Amino acid sequence: MIQLKDITKYYASGFARTFVLRHIDLEIKQGEFVSLMGPSGAGKSTLLYIIGMLDEASQGEYYFLDTPVHTCNERQRTELHQQNIGFVFQSYHLIDDLTVYENLETPLLYKKVKSAERKSLIAEMLDRFQIVAKKDLFPNQLSGGQQQLVAVARALIIKPKLILADEPTGNLNSKQGEEIMALFTQLNREGTTIIQATHSEKNAGYSGRIINLLDGTIIDQ
């Protein structure tokens, strides 16, 4: 499903380059549950963002479902991303000005899903995550755990083939964290590919494969 060949990412700072990722080769198959591990600054998030097409590699090739992402233009990437990828962040990143309902609706609007279908999909999600009562609240009226539930629901609503999660439980207490991880496990069983970046050995334990990063290179998988 995902094939990275010699991916390198650096930032130019003056004449020097700061490397974040160096020569990453990686293949992830459909249905895998992968954890990216490593200390802060190892490049976990950057790799996740590149896979999620939210960032571009400085060099190297990236194939997503056999499409060469590195040659796509912005519109094609948006299309690919919009149809297939759901993203979950440590700090939730819900849109403050929109209600829970509207936050869930946003990806469907961008995907140009018809109104009636949107309604049923949102209802299904609200039901599944037991947040029906919260649908008219704004993000700042919810607890952290509830916000992350909404964020996961928002990621899932487009029925993505791939879920990318960047420290999804980082801001949650342990019980809320366990719930999220249980959810991921179940989604993975239903066939969704999941890649998460995490510090936590415990969270990594839920996954089927662990990739260790240090200073931008894969040291162990």
Q: Which residue type, as a one-letter code, is found at position 68?
A: P
When asked if residue 82 is in the footprint of another protein (CB under 8 A), the reply is yes
For another protein, the closer of residues 153 and 206 by Cβ is 153
d(CA 125, CA 103): 12
Q: Which of 56, 117, 136, 201 binds another protein (CB under 8 A)?
A: 56
Binding mask 132-161 for another protein (x = CB under 8 A): ----------------------x---x---
Q: Which of 1, 65, 72, 98 binds another protein (CB under 8 A)?
A: 98
Q: Which of 24, 69, 94, 213 binds another protein (CB under 8 A)?
A: 94
**Contact of 106 with 158, CB cutoff 8 Å:** no
When asked if residue 202 is in the footprint of another protein (CB under 8 A), the reply is no
**Contact of 51 with 164, CB cutoff 8 Å:** yes
CA 162 to chain centre: 8
For another protein, the closer of residues 150 and 206 by Cβ is 150
d(CA 211, CA 86): 20
Which residue from 147, 142, 185, 133 is spatially nearest to 163, judged by alpha carbons?
A: 185
When asked if residue 95 is in the footprint of another protein (CB under 8 A), the reply is yes
Least Å distance, CB 178 to another protein, is: 25
Least Å distance, CB 90 to another protein, is: 10
Q: Show the tokens assigned to 182.
A: 């249980």
Q: Which of 75, 114, 116, 175 binds another protein (CB under 8 A)?
A: 75
When asked if residue 65 is in the footprint of another protein (CB under 8 A), the reply is no
Least Å distance, CB 201 to another protein, is: 24
Burial label, 110 (beta-carbon count in 10 A; 0-12, 13-18, 19+): exposed
CB proximity list for 139: less than 8 A, separation 6 or greater:
92, 94, 95, 96, 98, 100, 103, 147, 150
Chain positions contacting another protein, by CB under 8 A: 45-46, 49, 52, 54-56, 74-75, 78-79, 81-82, 87, 89, 93-98, 102, 105-107, 109-112, 154, 158
